[in-house]
Amino acid sequence: MRLTCPACGAVSSLDGLLQHDAARAAMATAYALSAPLGVALYRYMALFRPAQRALTWDRVATLTNELLPMIEAQQIERNRKTYFVPRDSWVAGFEQILAQRDKLSLPLKSHGYLLEILVGLAEKAQHAETAKKESIARGETPVGASAAHRTFTPPAAPERSSPAARSAGLAAIKDIVNLKGPADENAE
C-alpha cells in the first residue's frame, strides 16, 4: 500500500513508514499530542518542504523533536525571556502561520517565525490578564460596572439612652434571665 503524506508530500509504503525509525518517531510524537495539536503540527511541517522534493522523514523527526520539549513544557524562551504558551496557543500559532503561507518565503529554515507568533500571543494573553487584575483592583465588577461610584455611609452610632431607659432595659433582661414574664408579675 502506497501512502502520500498530505503535509510533506512524501510517498512511501505503510511497511516502509513503520520500519523507518525517523518516520516511526515522528508519528509517535504526533499521537502523543492531542488531536488538534498533532494535526496542526504536521500541517506546519509542510512549510519546510522544498519546492521540487519531498520532505524527508529524518527532517520531519528533527523539526518535531525541536518543538516537542517546548510544547510539553508549555513555555518558550525568546530574546532572553520565558513565555507561558498553553497548547491552545500552539494550535493558534500553527493556524496563524499556515494562514500566512502565501506571504512567507518557503521553505522555512527554522521555527523563528512561529516562535515570534507565539510570543505575540503570549504577550497579548499576559496584557489581558494584567488588565483584568487592574480592573478588579479598581473595584470594577466582571460585568463592567464599578462599585467605586457608591459612597460609603458608616452605620449610625447607637443613641445614648436615658438612665430610665437603661433601667427598664436591665429589668427586661432580668425578667428574661429569671424566666419571669410580664404575665407572671400580674399573677403575684
Per-residue pLDDT of the chain (188 residues; tens, 9 = 90+): 676 766 656 677 766 666 667 766 777 776 677 788 888 988 899 899 888 887 887 888 889 889 999 999 999 999 899 999 999 999 999 999 999 999 999 999 999 999 999 999 999 999 988 888 888 787 776 665 555 555 656 666 666 667 777 777 777 777 776 755 555 555 54
Residue 119 is assigned to a structural domain of this protein: yes
- What pLDDT was estimated at residue 137? 80
Residue 151 is assigned to a structural domain of this protein: no
- What pLDDT was estimated at residue 174? 74
Residue 35 is assigned to a structural domain of this protein: yes
Residue 146 is assigned to a structural domain of this protein: no
Domains identified in the chain, total number: 1
- What is each CA distance from 61 to 12, 32, 64, 67, 71, in whole angstroms? 16, 14, 5, 10, 15
Residue 169 is assigned to a structural domain of this protein: no
- What pLDDT was estimated at residue 51? 83
Residue 149 is assigned to a structural domain of this protein: no
C-alpha cell at 162: 436615658
- What pLDDT was estimated at residue 95? 95
Long-range contacts, 111-114 (Cβ 8 Å, 24+) = 111/63, 111/66, 111/67, 114/44
The whole domain housing 114 covers 2-137
- What pLDDT was estimated at residue 113? 94
Residue 162 is assigned to a structural domain of this protein: no
- What pLDDT was estimated at residue 152? 59
On whether the CB atoms of residues 5 and 14 are closer than 8 A, the answer is no
On whether the CB atoms of residues 111 and 66 are closer than 8 A, the answer is yes
* Overall pTM > 0.95: no
